[in-house]
Structure 1
Amino acid sequence: MAHTLRERYSSLVDVKLRATLVKKDGVIFNNRYEGDPKAGKVKVPVRDTEVKIGDYSKTDGAAATHGDTSYLDVTVDKDKAVNEIIDGYDAASVPDDLVADRLDSASYSLALQIEQDATAVLEAAATTFGTTEALTKDTVYDTLVDVRTAMSKNHVPNDNRRWLLVSPEVYGLVLKSDEFTKASDLGDAVVQTGALGRIAGFNVYEDATLSATTDFIAGHPDWCTRVNEWAVDVHLQDLGGSGKYIGASAVQGRRIYAHAVTKKKILQIKKNAGG
């Protein structure tokens, strides 16, 4: 019974996390890695070279090539805990609505923390694009077209998965652009990613966790990885017998995660002179 409840509570938090995160798994980040995050380190495949294509001869066949998949060791450096005391109830008697409220709150707080940590990794890894000149509603589209061109030159697939994280201020400029198409006009598949719309081939996401000197970051999920698992599932822990708490319990759980960029030149960041 306890194990089932742990799975259910963790699942409820996960659902809320997916709904709350701007930088979602499968959209901004992929989840391709090998190893057990609980061991503290995983291996992330680095897609830096593509399969070689050669000529085929009907008499001699084709020359064999060797696959060369390299891996990046990623330390799982984030270990975040939820440990909130619920006074007046032992674990067996906590009302369901109170549990639901605290799980909802925990999901929101955890999502914000993951967002901030992801932003720090993306900003540190990205290649600076252009100058710090302030964007305007008249220049924002042309700037994004130039970013699109830079990414194409770096062989980033133009497969409707290129993403653009924009500050609230820049999103305001994008909204004023005649070239911006709202997500509701693009179909359910785009809406479900959390995108607000599309411009210059990018799916647009408003990200309030970008630093004050960042206008936007452009990227693709193939080269941005997130490791994200429960080290300890969310559960109600009875605190009776602790020697300190009487008639109390706690909502507890531990989430471990890490972010990595495996091909830094594909990330483009536009900085500003503010702060």
Structure 2
Amino acid sequence: MLVALLLLPTVLATSSPKRGLIHIPSPAHPADDAIWLSPPTDLTWYYNYAAAPSPALPALHFVPQLWGAPSSDSDTAFLDAVRALLAAGTNVSHVLAFNEPDGAAGSGGSDVDPARAARAWNREIAPLRELGVRLGAPAVTGAPAGMAWLRAFFEACGCEADFVPVHWYGSFEGLASRVGEVRAAWPRAEIWVTDYITRYSYFGSFRSDVSNVGPNAAMLTQDGELTDIGSWYLGRGATGNVPKGGKKKSGAVARGAAGWAAWVVAGVVVVALVVV
């Protein structure tokens, strides 16, 4: 923790190539897309749960994702799409695999059993390594069942991923514990916290009135203005904009929230020191 305190001013003052965004364009509010590219911003990369990049974010590095496993064992649509991007000159350095395959479809998971996921990974993901692309393991939920699913996947797959994504929505202590567990299980793999290392991305690039995780996690208010969290994540100062359903903070609480955001960034540094 002392290391975090010493590095905190540097972390807050400089842009990090690790900082990315989970982003899905909003057809109802297309002007919101420009917010993420307007300077100053610390964002360098993004993913959108799909194989094709978003035209709205041309300045950010795109990471394709195979969100769920195709129903057919002969389907190579994702592999073909990434090969086409590379052939067109797009810089594809990494790919992400299945999104929360241990989770039910009703809660946002892709609901894929480990054996089927292993077949799809070997067919659609593994061949990309020959093209110089680094390969991500499936991004399981933070539930205990997630780790069991991931172990079953690797047993069925007989493969090795270059990095393991981690999803976490709990406390920093819980995050540190999960990262340690992943590090112990797959010591040669990098760790991405995608939903916070080598890379991390925050889940909240939407307006508060369409948030499925509560208004206070949103990076935009119901009117499309940056909230404190959204502004801090871009490397800027607090805005004081309160999302719909959120509560206006007193001076003391606001200062506490700013401190919390700083510790989130510092927490990433601490975890990075552990896993690098």
- Which structure ranks higher in relative contact order (CA pairs < 8 Å, sequence separation ≥ 6)? 1
With structure 1 as the length reference, what TM-score do the two structures score? 0.26
Q: Which has the larger radius of gyration?
A: 1
**Larger fraction in strand:** 1
**Larger fraction in helix:** 2
With structure 2 as the length reference, what TM-score do the two structures score? 0.26
